[in-house]
Amino acid sequence: MAELAEAGHAVVEHGVAEQTVQDYIQHHLSYLTYGRHADGSWGMAHDAVEAAEMGFMSIHVDTMGWSLFLGAGFLLFFRYIGLKATTDTPSGMQNFVEMIFEFVDARVGEGFDGKNPLIAPLALTIFVWILLMNTMDIIPVDLFSILLGFIGFEHAPFKIVPTTDPNITMGMSLSVFVLIIYYSIKNKGLGGFLAELAFHPFGKWMMPFNLIIEVPTLLAKPISLGLRLFGNLYAGELLFLLIAALLGAVQLPAHFIWAVFHLLVIPLQAFVFMMLTIVYLNAAHQTSHDH
């Protein structure tokens, strides 16, 4: 953050208030937080310090709201297209949805060897949901601050990219991790699952070394899955903010160049999350006989 320290004297216009670059970026990286205040009452935090004091039981209203809204919108849209689907004269939207179905189904066919009717719908949900959440990063960073200003909330932090919130990405990755553990035990038995951790790859006489290798490898799956998605989208958002704060009137060309590059990052990260989920669940369905 050395660049921000050097640029601390800069002033940018934001609504009716003047802010330093640090204030501007900190505002846009903060969350609209609801939780319990120090006096015991419940309500919205007024600043980042108050949000931090609310502790673990607070909720980021903005990222949670957007993630649920986008998820519900995706499900309702796909259901609508499914109900209207026809083999005679399919609409452009039906062709588009079918193309997504076929793309995800092909990836599941390539990466999953077992038989489980949950995997394809799960992969489809993960891919489309993350893609929609990532795409919110293309919306101009100040647009919603301006809109909130019209209803008297111009100084409220409001993030619209759920995947820049580690609570969202880690929540999704931990859900996948629960499925990994569940299907590992279901398909291999508890003894088989524990034996994989204890006796592989060097055999039962090297159990301590096997555990040192296998346990961290298992725990690294949800951590890497969630942090990879969060890190890539957070870095993209931060660069958008730096361009907006430091380049002033000449920011549009830089925004356009970065947005074009970011259009590759948005679907790529959704694809990576989906593929790793398929690979991890495929491994959870493999027994020692399959190896």
20: which DSSP letter? E
> Looking at per-residue confidence, does 67 or 210 come out higher?
67
Q: Cα–Cα distances in Å, from 279 out to 110, 158, 218, 267, 272?
A: 10, 35, 13, 18, 10
pLDDT at 12: 40
pLDDT digits (tens, 9 = 90+) for 9-52: 344 444 444 567 777 777 778 888 899 888 888 888 877 778 88
Judge whether 67 counts as a catalytic residue: no
Helix (H, G, I), strand (E, B) or coil at 203: coil
In whole angstroms, what is the distance from residue 144 CA to residue 146 CA?
5
In whole angstroms, what is the distance from residue 70 CA to residue 99 CA?
20
Judge whether 228 counts as a catalytic residue: yes
Catalytically annotated residue among 116, 167, 175, 228? 228
User: Minimal CA–CA distance to 162: which of 150, 172, 154, 148?
Assistant: 172
Average pLDDT over every residue of 184-205:
84
- 105 pLDDT higher than 90: yes
Catalytically annotated residue among 91, 95, 224, 288? 224
Judge whether 224 counts as a catalytic residue: yes
pTM: 0.84
User: Minimal CA–CA distance to 271: which of 229, 217, 223?
Assistant: 229
In whole angstroms, what is the distance from residue 196 CA to residue 164 CA?
35
Per-range mean pLDDT, top range of 156-160, 182-186, 187-191: 182-186
Catalytically annotated residue among 173, 184, 210, 232? 232
- Do the beta carbons of residue 81 and residue 97 sit within 8 Å? yes
User: Which run of H or of E encompasses 276?
Assistant: helix 251-285
**Bridge partners, 44 (sequence order):** 34
- 233 pLDDT higher than 80: yes
260: which DSSP letter? H
